[in-house]
Each structure stands twice: as structure tokens, then as C-alpha cells.
């Protein structure tokens, strides 16, 4: 279906050497996009690129720290000199679980820089070029924690609430320039970030009862939402957060 064909488009996915980021990169590649993988670790990034190229995908890599505004701008501007970025997926993120009364200040600052500042830094750097072309798709990765909270992750919840509202702000400022800015809010997915929870039988049992679908999500189940928001099929969708969570935010 041509509405969802990404052939000829280039997609930058931050934090894409593993987990959700790599799954989304693979999915966008299968929809026809050229992929730009990003991570801080060059060895891990090259391993991911090699795995993606083995599927027939066109792959470039950009090594930069998403929490370093200058490094972000330099990397994006340098890449844009040769090839424009049509799709940006702000996926880079981290988690830190500690009761709020004991949460270390440095961990709070690091979490906010990684989860919120990075989306602003990369979003702004890429959007400046998209605005000149009058088109572009930005997909931010939010979370069910954009709406819900659990014990021990209050700063993460705050960061993902910020991503949802930053997405609205991006749409409000940039839709007039031809950009579509939306977010995907995953529920509980089996990823390296959630490895400790997946390995906890008590938590998994709770999650299966709490989620109407009755199970953990698979990262591949986020791909359709990402392709949709990156495609012409979402040409009039702006400022929206699409929950992909097995129904957890729909039920008590």
C-alpha cells in the first residue's frame, strides 16, 4: 500500500543498537526506508548495522551522545550535507528504579538528560533541516508511564509525561512547516531495559493480570505504529500519543 511505503525516505533512530530502537529500525527498513542507526558505543553500533545489512537494508551509522547538544548538532548537520533525514525516531532512553525519597540527584539529572533533553536536542537539530524542506516526520517514544505511575520510578514517569507534552509542543510549533510530530507509548515490553522485571515471576504474574491482553508485549508489535506515524498515512495526525500497551491504560 503506497500510503505506508517508505521507499526513498531516510530514518534516524536514536538508541538503536538494541531493544526497541533496533526493532523499529528493522521495521522501517522493511517498509523501504534507508536507516541511520545511532548509539554511543561504536562497536555495538557496528554489530547492529551488520545485522541489519544482512537483511538487505540500507544502513548508515552515526556515533554521538544524545545528551550532548553540540555533538548532536554536529552529527546531524554533517549527515544532512550528504543526505536529508526524513524521519526521526527519538527512542534513546534509560530507567533507574529507586524509591523517590532515596532517589539520587545525579541519577535524576542523568535520567532527565537521557529521556527528555535528548528528544529536544535531536528533535531541534533535525527539525531545522526538515523545516527548510517543508516536510518531515518525528516520532517520540513515550510510555504508559506518560499517564500512569508505579512505585520506584517517579522521575521516569515525569520524563515520559514530559515527552508526551513536548510532542504536543513540537506539533504546535512545526506542523505549519509541514512536519508531523507524534509519539508512541509502549506498555510493558520484553526488552533489555525491562530484563529485571521480565525475570521476576511475581511481577510478570501481576502484569499478566493487569493487562487485558494478558502478556508482555513483543518489540515487533511496535513496528506497525511506527510505520504508520512515519508515513503519508498519518499526514493529518499531529501531536498525538498512540498507546501500544495491550489495553493496560484502558482498564482498571
Determine the distance from the C-alpha atom of residue 170 to the mean position of all C-alpha atoms in its chain, rounded to a whole number. 15
| Mean per-residue pLDDT, 149-158 | 96
Residues 252, 233: Cα–Cα separation, whole Å: 32
Query: What share of the chain has pLDDT > 90, as a percent?
Result: 96
> Is the pLDDT reported for residue 122 higher than 90?
yes
pLDDT tier for residue 87 given thresholds of 50, 70 and 90: very high
What is the pTM (predicted TM-score) of this model?
0.96
Interatomic CA distance for residues 225 and 96, integer angstroms: 26
pLDDT for residue 242: 98
Catalytic residue among 79, 121, 156, 188: 156
pLDDT value for 223: 98
Residue 158 pLDDT exceeds 90: yes
Q: How confident is the model at residue 133 (pLDDT cuts 50, 70, 90)?
A: very high
Task: Please state, in angstroms and rounded to a whole number, the distance separating the CA atoms of residues 48 and 51.
Answer: 5
By DSSP bridging, strand 87-90 and strand 10-13 are parallel
Per the listing, cell 549527515 goes with: 79
CB 48 within 8 Å of CB 37: yes
With bands split at pLDDT 50, 70 and 90, how would you rate the model's confidence at 252?
confident
Nearest Cα to 192, choosing from 71, 75, 118, 93? 93
* Domains defined for the chain, CATH in brackets: 2-242 (3.40.50.720)
Percent of the chain with pLDDT over 70: 100
Element containing residue 10 per DSSP (H, E)? strand 10-13
Verify whether residue 121 is a known catalytic residue.
no
For residue 121, the model assigns a pLDDT of 98
- Per-residue pLDDT tens digits for 166-204: 999 999 999 999 999 999 999 999 988 788 899 999 999
For residue range 12-53, list pLDDT tens digits in order: 999 999 999 999 999 999 999 999 999 999 999 999 999 999
The 10 Å Cβ neighbour count of residue 13 is 31
pLDDT computed for residue 225 by the predictor: 98
* Cβ neighbours around 213 below 10 Å, total: 13
Q: How much is the pLDDT for 192?
A: 82
Backbone angles phi and psi of 63, in degrees to 5 = -95, 110
pLDDT tens for 208-251 read: 999 999 999 999 999 999 999 999 999 999 999 999 999 999 99
Those residues whose C-beta lies under 8 Å from the C-beta of residue 177, and which sit 6 or more positions away, are 130, 131, 134
Distance, CA of 252 to CA of 166 (rounded, Å): 27
Provide the pLDDT for residue 89.
98
Amino acid at each position: 500500500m503506497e500510503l505506508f511505503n517508505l521507499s526513498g525516505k531516510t530514518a534516524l533512530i536514536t538508541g538503536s543498537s538494541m531493544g526497541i530502537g533496533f526493532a523499529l529500525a528493522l521495521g522501517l527498513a522493511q517498509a523501504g526506508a534507508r536507516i541511520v542507526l545511532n548509539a554511543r558505543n561504536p562497536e555495538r553500533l557496528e554489530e547492529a548495522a551488520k545485522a541489519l545489512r544482512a537483511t538487505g537494508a540500507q544502513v548508515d551509522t552515526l556515533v554521538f551522545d544524545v545528551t550532548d547538544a553540540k555533538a548532536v548538532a554536529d552529527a546531524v548537520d554533517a549527515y544532512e550535507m550528504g543526505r536529508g533525514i526524513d524521519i526521526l525516531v527519538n527512542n534513546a532512553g534509560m530507567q533507574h528504579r529507586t524509591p523517590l525519597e532515596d532517589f539520587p540527584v545525579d541519577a535524576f539529572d542523568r535520567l532527565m538528560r537521557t529521556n527528555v533533553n535528548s528528544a529536544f536536542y535531536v528533535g531541534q537539530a533535525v527539525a531545522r533541516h526538515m523545516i527548510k524542506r517543508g516536510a518531515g516526520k518525528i516520532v517520540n517514544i513515550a510510555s504508559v508511564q506518560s499517564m500512569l505511575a508505579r512505585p520506584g520510578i517517579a522521575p521516569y514517569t515525569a520524563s515520559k509525561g514530559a515527552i508526551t507534552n513536548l510532542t504536543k509542543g513540537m506539533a504546535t510549533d512545526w506542523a505549519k512547516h509541514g512536519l508531523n510530530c507524534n509519539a508512541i507509548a509502549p506498555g510493558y515490553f520484553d526488552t533489555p531495559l525491562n530484563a529485571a522485571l521480565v525475570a521476576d515471576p511475581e511481577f510478570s504474574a501481576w502484569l499478566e493480570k493487569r493487562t487485558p491482553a494478558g502478556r508482555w508485549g513483543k518489540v515487533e508489535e511496535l513496528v506497525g505504529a511506527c510505520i504508520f506515524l512515519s508515513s503519508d498515512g498519518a499526514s493529518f495526525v499531529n501531536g498525538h500519543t498512540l498507546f501500544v500497551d495491550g489495553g493496560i491504560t484502558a482498564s482498571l
